[in-house]
A and B are shown apart, each in its own frame.
Chain A
Amino acid sequence: MNAIVSFVTGSFLIIGAFLSLVTAFGLLRLPDVYTRNHAASKAATLGVMSILLGTFLYFFLEEGHFNSRIILGIAFIFMTSPVAGHLISRAAYNSGIPLWEKSVQDDLKKAKEERKAEQ
């Protein structure tokens, strides 16, 4: 195997694995739903995109197999994972999960109270 191909592909894989470890530690150690969601939806997305890019480069450069499904997968995960994070964070806020007790600012609180007063 060509050493440069091996190095580039392997470094993409290692970066992705490290980012996915970062995701797990973020989910274990951060205090409330919103900060955990912040960790999960960013670090996991970038980590998986990096691992998929490494996989694509491996199959393309090593076996000459251009796999368009991996590119579609990268694009799909890049589009949908932040959207899923946003939706679940919004659902958590609207169903009344409290913020961390040391957080200092809650910009949505006023809008939520106004909406409640209208109903």
Chain B
Amino acid sequence: MFELVVYISLVCVSISMLGLIYRVIKGPSIPDRVVALDAIGINLVAIIALISIALKTNAFLEIILLIGILAFIGTVAFAKYLEKGVIIEHERDR
């Protein structure tokens, strides 16, 4: 029964990722795509947690934290690029 619940959750998260990928491809503006990519990263965390339950192993649990950090850094870099045109500013450019 519990296995079935885990697999149903995996299917739901996968369907949700398909919808997000549709938004990444079609999204009319660039911030749309960045929002969808951020949500994809968050969903990937959920998929890894569910798969590590399904495989009954705790070897993948470090990856959860790693993907969370990487998704945040990527989104912040993209937001700064969209707003200012550069990601890392030089002091002398001001």
Residues on A lying within 8 angstroms of B by beta carbon are 1, 6, 9-10, 13-14, 16-18, 20-21, 23-25, 27-28, 33, 36-37, 40-41, 44-45, 47-48, 51-52, 54-55, 58-59, 63, 65, 67, 69-70, 72-73, 76-77, 80-81, 83-85, 87-92, 94-95, 97
Contacts and interface: CB of A to CB of B under 8 A. Distances in A.
B50 A90 contact: no
B20 A84 contact: no
Prevailing SS type, chain B contact patch: helix
Contacts of A6: 1-2
B6 interface: yes
B2 A20 contact: no
B86 interface: no
Contacts of A63: 56, 58
A49 to B, nearest CB: 10
B65 A69 contact: yes
Q: List 4 A-B pairs, minimum CB-CB distance, nearest first.
A: A24-B19, A92-B31, A24-B16, A17-B12
Contact of A77 (B9, B34, B42): B42
Contacts of B65: 69, 72-73, 76
B5 interface: yes
B39 A16 contact: no
B13 A20 contact: yes
A84 B72 contact: yes
The contact size tier of chain B is 35 or more
A44 B42 contact: yes
A54 B54 CA distance: 13
Given A52-B64, A65-B58, A77-B68, A33 B53 contact: no
Given A51-B50, A52-B46, 12 more contacts: A10-B2, A20-B43, A27-B23, A33-B29, A41-B38, A51-B13, A59-B61, A73-B64, A76-B68, A80-B72, A88-B78, A91-B83
Contacts of A90: 79, 83
